[in-house]
A and B are shown apart, each in its own frame.
Chain A
């Protein structure tokens, strides 16, 4: 059983993980927006990036905002939308399933992600036109799951948090880790401007970190909760 301090730490840790997934969802959802650009260029975030060794280049912080946004809109289109050579950011394109039903939009993985989302009681927003297995949707789902986990740490002595950790791990194992690291490698190889190259590196590092953290913490949590 966790004491109050441990429960608080678990809630804080969940909040932090949820934040990062939310940030990544926003970055991959659409072209770099003026709002996001301002936030990233802002000094606290800039320092964090510097600590992490993320090198967005001098131009990122000095070029006129409009020019940056235009250039990154073109880069986003070229990298993720096409036409022509592009890296479609959908699980169904990249996850090489054993049954062979992969490589096209709306194939088996899309259906599985959609089922996963809907079985949690969530719906796809009417206003959102992305496909169910877009990278930003998967990150957003993680953000929401971990947010729910955080809420559970704050009530009933964290009794139900483990349930959400199980679901998070299941989604990580069955979906996110099946394709996003390889997807990041492709982006790192193909990106021409620093932002998406560096974000892809950061995404990969974060997933490695989170996989390790969740398996260690998850096991500790399981033991503690189950002992209780």
Chain B
């Protein structure tokens, strides 16, 4: 190229001027306004600006803690806990604090993209939002016009509170009910069991008032569904009040290490210990007092109005063979320990019994949680101060969401058809982790359009390689849209990418469970504008339905959120959005216990269509349920939706209201619907079929989480992954030496479906016979920190020099099959049998 001289510069400048003058399209500018400076005044481009503190809410995990974001000159610089929050009391965890790096993730997607090469080739072209929204809308419209709206699949990984309500609502407004969730890989067995027993789902533990904390399979101090708001209370209970904490776990977690007593237990056998503890309590008469009183509200036999004495006799009969010696043989926990802990738990009142994913991610998952409910019930530790309580969260009003005239659903979300392997009688939260398998089984034509929102089906579910094989097949999934913030393992296989706003760039009302039982209302507001062209997917879906000709009262999710907040009773009177934007949180100050004792006015059962079902002891509106005279409450589809009250003695009580399952207002420890499905009406131990014939070299594979990572959404976060970049497999020295494995050695882990490679961490913290691999690392994509896949140009990020790890981990999902617990279909993360050898 020639040097630029004055002469050719002038020609170039004149021609440039002509181009600018001629091209209308080139007049779109980034800068607006006129330059205004005063001659003679010193120009200072380094003027300091005030730092803004904005109340908002975290979203790194489902706890969604209230927080404050600090923004300086448009840049987010710090996140802290919200001191006004009664849930968090000013605490957020390491994941929460590190969230701000997600906004500035160098591998973040900032523009809509369309695939130009073969699926999975990583070749993309930028497209406009107009084109992206237009294409999605036209494909949905085509399905609507053809009368097959259900061929639009919407599958989300995390969509709670207003995001879940609005986006789900907009999707349904298109006429499809084909909506997948992620609860089947989260904790759905707990929820199904709770729906069978006390109706509704979600438990809370009133740590602030408890005197004893018994924990099974929950690393609650490091990572938990309601993590920080519970964890900091546990530490206060221990330190300030000297409350004893006992933890059963398959491995020495940090929670176990901080407990007063740690009791190792074999994988998947917590239920056996629950059953045996129940027997001890029954045999020793420790149910007397609070337990006996609560049993008035429990159903323990076929007869809902049985006497407490009969209930106890029936329970004693059912539990007769579940002795501590029997449980010791199964669980490895000494019989004397089971007996001692049972007595401690039953006699130190009030007490909480926290059982989470460890016990339920197994073949017996749902029944294990039912067994836990029995234990809480016979000791009277239910819904009272200091005990296991029905969860309370904020009850927001919602601005109007349009509804489709008809809605159709593909029968694909609840596991296999009846009679086939992987079919489940109570998939109350679906078995969405098996959707890809079901699509494969049904074949081409099941869905024409799939949208994944904050969801990575390839990575988050078991059997990675099979998932990849299915999503690559364009006949099975002809058009896939991935809406996410970063370029993930599943985004890689999409046809179109819609870049989502991070949680720090959007608005929501929030409602996570409040450990105080009051119910905290809190909000999320955008701390910074979405980077690049990223857009809140809520806004995108509003635009899609508007383009379909469906009207909404709002054009953005921000407007929807503000309208909803302004119409919510309580919050409205406090000042509505203006108050919430300033303070971030609000509550009515009233703790809610004993909800089941609420009396129902007699007028409620006199309403048209309300009948009494003798078998259930329930008043329900059979007319609204479209039932015929004499139809059974238990057997009528969705009868629970028309539940009115339960007759207990001479009282008409709201009781434990049903949800998703037809049950009475009693705490149903004995379940008619479970009996009707062919299982024992009371919790029953059935050995997992895949573990019946384990050989001497077979081991149990279990997964776990650490305090600086979430399941699959934080590995692109440089601060977090710098702390925890990979996941060595924990193995006990006895097992390691038997196999010639040393600390740091490469090992192979083989299951019935695949073999994976990883590295060993030989530690006494692992239990003999078990191998423990954390559930985070080993991404195939998701940016340089998670997978090592980044631009070779090392100057893209100054922290490249801090990447001290070469190995990005190995995910146990490679060898974990996609299969569910026998009642609800919940993913059995923790009962895979493997063989381990040195590589």
Q: Closest Cβ of chain B: how far from A198's Cβ, in Å?
A: 7
- Judging by beta carbons under 8 Å apart, are A117 and B104 in contact? no
Considering only CB atoms, which chain A residue lies closest to B104 in the complex?
Answer: A104
Which residues of chain B (2-26) have a CB below 8 Å from chain A? 2-4, 6, 8-20, 22-26
- Judging by beta carbons under 8 Å apart, are A124 and B17 in contact? no
Binary CB contact string for chain A from 24 to 53 against chain B (1 if under 8 A, 0 otherwise): 001001010111100110001101100111
CB of B135 within 8 A of chain A? no
Q: Which A residues are in CB contact (< 8 Å) with B36?
A: 120-121
Q: Which A residues are in CB contact (< 8 Å) with B39?
A: 159-160, 163
Interface size class on chain A is: 35 or more
CB of B1 within 8 A of chain A? yes
Given contacts A85-B791, A131-B531, contact A52 B4 (CB under 8 A): yes
Considering only CB atoms, which chain A residue lies closest to B111 in the complex?
Answer: A81
Q: Which of A83, A111, A209 contacts B122 (CB 8 A)?
A: A83
Which residues of chain A (183-221) have a CB below 8 Å from chain B? 186, 198, 201-202, 205-206, 208-209, 213
Considering only CB atoms, which chain B residue lies closest to A17 in the complex?
Answer: B13
Interface residues of B, count at CB 8 A? 73
Q: Which of B14, B528, B797 contacts A104 (CB 8 A)?
A: B797
- Judging by beta carbons under 8 Å apart, are B1 and A74 in contact? no
- Judging by beta carbons under 8 Å apart, are B799 and A129 in contact? no
Given contacts A23-B19, A35-B25, A100-B798, contact A52 B12 (CB under 8 A): yes
CB of A57 within 8 A of chain B? no
CB of A167 within 8 A of chain B? yes
- Judging by beta carbons under 8 Å apart, are A115 and B1 in contact? no
- Judging by beta carbons under 8 Å apart, are A105 and B796 in contact? no
- Judging by beta carbons under 8 Å apart, are A19 and B17 in contact? yes
Q: Which A residues are in CB contact (< 8 Å) with B16?
A: 19-20, 22-23
- Judging by beta carbons under 8 Å apart, are A125 and B37 in contact? no
CB of A222 within 8 A of chain B? no
Q: How far is the CA of A25 from the CA of B12 in the complex (A)?
A: 15
CB of A180 within 8 A of chain B? no
CB of A61 within 8 A of chain B? no
- Judging by beta carbons under 8 Å apart, are A148 and B791 in contact? no
Q: How far is the CA of A29 from the CA of B73 in the complex (A)?
A: 23
CB of A123 within 8 A of chain B? yes
- Judging by beta carbons under 8 Å apart, are A36 and B25 in contact? yes
Given contacts A116-B45, A167-B43, contact A106 B35 (CB under 8 A): no
- Judging by beta carbons under 8 Å apart, are B13 and A19 in contact? yes
- Dominant secondary structure at the B interface: loop
Q: How far is the CA of A33 from the CA of B22 in the complex (A)?
A: 13
Q: Closest Cβ of chain A: how far from B534's Cβ, in Å?
A: 9
Q: Which B residues are in CB contact (< 8 Å) with A115?
A: 45-47, 49, 73
Given contacts A39-B18, A39-B22, A163-B37, contact A85 B31 (CB under 8 A): no
Considering only CB atoms, which chain B residue lies closest to A46 in the complex?
Answer: B15
- Judging by beta carbons under 8 Å apart, are A93 and B125 in contact? no
CB of A226 within 8 A of chain B? no
CB of B32 within 8 A of chain A? yes
Binary CB contact string for chain B from 87 to 116 against chain A (1 if under 8 A, 0 otherwise): 000000000000000011011111101001
CB of B804 within 8 A of chain A? no
Q: Closest Cβ of chain B: how far from A133's Cβ, in Å?
A: 11
Q: Closest Cβ of chain B: how far from A190's Cβ, in Å?
A: 8
Q: Which of A35, A77, A174, A198 contacts B26 (CB 8 A)?
A: A35
Given contacts A103-B795, A112-B46, contact A26 B26 (CB under 8 A): yes
Given contacts A48-B8, A51-B2, A115-B45, contact A39 B32 (CB under 8 A): no
Q: Which of B24, B116, B791 contacts A84 (CB 8 A)?
A: B791
- Judging by beta carbons under 8 Å apart, are A52 and B33 in contact? no
CB of B594 within 8 A of chain A? no
CB of A166 within 8 A of chain B? yes
Choose among A48, A137, A144, A171 the residue with the greatest number of B CB atoms under 10 Å from its CB. A48
CB of B34 within 8 A of chain A? yes
CB of B28 within 8 A of chain A? yes
- Dominant secondary structure at the A interface: helix
CB of B533 within 8 A of chain A? yes
Q: Which A residues are in CB contact (< 8 Å) with B795?
A: 93-94, 96, 103
- Judging by beta carbons under 8 Å apart, are B28 and A29 in contact? yes
CB of B44 within 8 A of chain A? yes
Considering only CB atoms, which chain A residue lies closest to B74 in the complex?
Answer: A114
CB of B75 within 8 A of chain A? yes
Given contacts A94-B795, A103-B796, A137-B30, contact A16 B10 (CB under 8 A): yes
Considering only CB atoms, which chain B residue lies closest to A73 in the complex?
Answer: B125
- Judging by beta carbons under 8 Å apart, are A45 and B37 in contact? no
Q: How far is the CA of A171 from the CA of B23 in the complex (A)?
A: 27
Q: Closest Cβ of chain A: how far from B429's Cβ, in Å?
A: 33
Q: Which A residues are in CB contact (< 8 Å) with B689?
A: none
Q: Which A residues are in CB contact (< 8 Å) with B24?
A: 35
Q: How far is the CA of A202 from the CA of B8 in the complex (A)?
A: 12
CB of B29 within 8 A of chain A? yes
- Judging by beta carbons under 8 Å apart, are B35 and A81 in contact? no
Q: Closest Cβ of chain A: how far from B705's Cβ, in Å?
A: 27
Q: Which A residues are in CB contact (< 8 Å) with B532?
A: 105, 129-131
- Judging by beta carbons under 8 Å apart, are A123 and B32 in contact? yes
- Judging by beta carbons under 8 Å apart, are A83 and B107 in contact? yes
- Judging by beta carbons under 8 Å apart, are B104 and A106 in contact? yes
Q: Which B residues are in CB contact (< 8 Å) with A82?
A: 107, 109, 487, 791
Binary CB contact string for chain B from 314 to 358 against chain A (1 if under 8 A, 0 otherwise): 000000000000000000000000000000000000000000000
Q: How far is the CA of A137 from the CA of B792 in the complex (A)?
A: 27
Q: How far is the CA of A102 from the CA of B122 in the complex (A)?
A: 27
Choose among B12, B14, B18, B39 the residue with the greatest number of A CB atoms under 10 Å from its CB. B12
Q: Which of B23, B73, B792, B793 contacts A111 (CB 8 A)?
A: B73
- Judging by beta carbons under 8 Å apart, are B8 and A26 in contact? no
- Judging by beta carbons under 8 Å apart, are A40 and B19 in contact? yes
Q: Which of B29, B110, B798 contacts A140 (CB 8 A)?
A: B29
Considering only CB atoms, which chain B residue lies closest to A110 in the complex?
Answer: B75
CB of A177 within 8 A of chain B? no
- Judging by beta carbons under 8 Å apart, are B4 and A208 in contact? yes
- Judging by beta carbons under 8 Å apart, are B31 and A117 in contact? yes
Considering only CB atoms, which chain B residue lies closest to A125 in the complex?
Answer: B32
Q: Which B residues are in CB contact (< 8 Å) with A209?
A: 4, 9
Q: Closest Cβ of chain A: how far from B242's Cβ, in Å?
A: 47
Binary CB contact string for chain B from 785 to 812 against chain A (1 if under 8 A, 0 otherwise): 0000001110111111000000000000
Q: How far is the CA of A119 from the CA of B41 in the complex (A)?
A: 12
- Judging by beta carbons under 8 Å apart, are A45 and B18 in contact? yes
Given contacts A73-B126, A125-B31, contact A83 B109 (CB under 8 A): yes
Which residues of chain A (1-23) have a CB below 8 Å from chain B? 15-17, 19-20, 22-23
Q: How far is the CA of A160 from the CA of B40 in the complex (A)?
A: 8
- Judging by beta carbons under 8 Å apart, are A119 and B126 in contact? no
- Judging by beta carbons under 8 Å apart, are B32 and A122 in contact? yes
Q: Closest Cβ of chain A: how far from B74's Cβ, in Å?
A: 6
Considering only CB atoms, which chain A residue lies closest to B2 in the complex?
Answer: A53
Q: Closest Cβ of chain A: how far from B790's Cβ, in Å?
A: 8
Q: Closest Cβ of chain A: how far from B105's Cβ, in Å?
A: 8
Q: How far is the CA of A84 from the CA of B822 in the complex (A)?
A: 43
CB of A176 within 8 A of chain B? no
Q: How far is the CA of A87 from the CA of B796 in the complex (A)?
A: 8
- A-B CB contact pairs (8 Å), 8 listed: A35-B26, A48-B12, A96-B795, A103-B797, A117-B31, A128-B30, A130-B532, A136-B30
Which 10 pairs from chain A and chain B are nearest by CB?
A16-B13, A121-B36, A103-B798, A23-B16, A19-B17, A85-B791, A53-B2, A26-B26, A209-B4, A116-B45
Question: With contacts A15-B13, A112-B46, A122-B34 known, what are 5 further pairs, Cβ within 8 A?
Answer: A82-B487, A105-B106, A123-B33, A137-B31, A206-B4
Interface residues of B (CB under 8 A from A): 1-4, 6, 8-20, 22-26, 28-37, 39-40, 43-47, 49, 72-75, 103-104, 106-111, 113, 116, 122, 124-126, 487, 528, 531-533, 791-793, 795-800
Interface residues of A (CB under 8 A from B): 15-17, 19-20, 22-23, 26, 29, 31, 33-36, 39-40, 44-45, 47-48, 51-54, 73-74, 76-77, 81-88, 93-94, 96, 100-107, 110-112, 114-117, 119-132, 134, 136-137, 140-141, 144-145, 148, 159-160, 163, 166-167, 170-171, 174, 186, 198, 201-202, 205-206, 208-209, 213
